[in-house]
Amino acid sequence: MRCEVCGDEIRGQPHRKVIEGGRLTVCGRCAGFGSGEWSPYRPTQMRRGGPPPPRRPRSEVEATEGLELIEDYGATIKKARQKMRLNIEDFSRMIKEKESVVKKLEKEDLNPDRKLIRKLENALNVKLLEASTPTAVPVARRASSGRTMGDIWKLSQSEEKEDEG
């Protein structure tokens, strides 16, 4: 096993240290760089009956999986802003974003991240996400003739030679 800091072979027992926020397995010399220790084994908690606790999403993509922006989100944002009688300058100040961001959103030149979507939904009292509908992906099919582009090219070359001769 090698030290994840210096790369030397670890002789004896490896040290598991937290270095700059990362969990590393290191040699005795590099162990001094660590601020704490970690264990590769998770403590197991025995649960009695009932369903397991809900799993927290690992990423923003996973958290919003199954959701997508509504089709005309730019117009929805603009209408809701105008309904509140706010110009772009005042609205951008209200949500603490640049005016250019609001303009791009209304033109649909910018796809907002989850944090910005939440901020817009709360400020304007609108829904910008909807459940996505799975789309059918066409399956590629093999050519029934079994010919490749190379075969067709060779055939066209041989026909050209016949026409010349």
- Same domain? For 82 and 30 the reply is no
Write out the H or E segment, with its range, that includes residue 16.
strand 15-19
Cα–Cα distance between 124 and 79 in angstroms, integer?
9
Crossing angle for the helix pair 114-124 and 73-83, to the nearest 10 degrees: 30
| Residue carrying structure tokens 């937290």 | 18
pLDDT at res. 130: 81
Q: Is residue 53 part of a domain?
A: no
Q: Is residue 90 part of a domain?
A: yes
Q: Is residue 159 part of a domain?
A: no
- Same domain? For 124 and 85 the reply is yes
Q: Is residue 119 part of a domain?
A: yes
pLDDT at res. 59: 42
| Residue carrying structure tokens 């799993």 | 55
CATH label of the domain that carries residue 83: 1.10.260.40
- Same domain? For 95 and 126 the reply is yes
Crossing angle for the helix pair 73-83 and 99-107, to the nearest 10 degrees: 120
Q: Is residue 148 part of a domain?
A: no
- Same domain? For 75 and 125 the reply is yes
Q: Is residue 157 part of a domain?
A: no
- Same domain? For 33 and 88 the reply is no
pTM of the model: 0.44
Give, for all 165 residues of the chain, the pLDDT tens digit.
888 888 888 888 888 988 888 888 989 889 888 888 887 776 555 556 666 655 554 445 445 557 788 888 899 999 999 999 999 999 999 999 999 999 999 998 888 888 898 899 999 999 988 876 655 555 555 555 567 777 777 788 877 777 776
Number of domains in the chain: 2
Query: Going by C-beta distance under 8 Å and a sequence separation of 6 or more, which residues neighbour residue 23?
Result: 16, 17, 38
Contact 86, 145 (CB under 8 A): no
Q: Is residue 56 part of a domain?
A: no
- Same domain? For 116 and 77 the reply is yes
Q: Is residue 57 part of a domain?
A: no
Strand partners, 30: none
- Same domain? For 66 and 116 the reply is yes
What are the Cα distances from residue 73, in Å, to 29, 56, 61, 111?
57, 28, 19, 9
Range of the domain at 11: 1-40
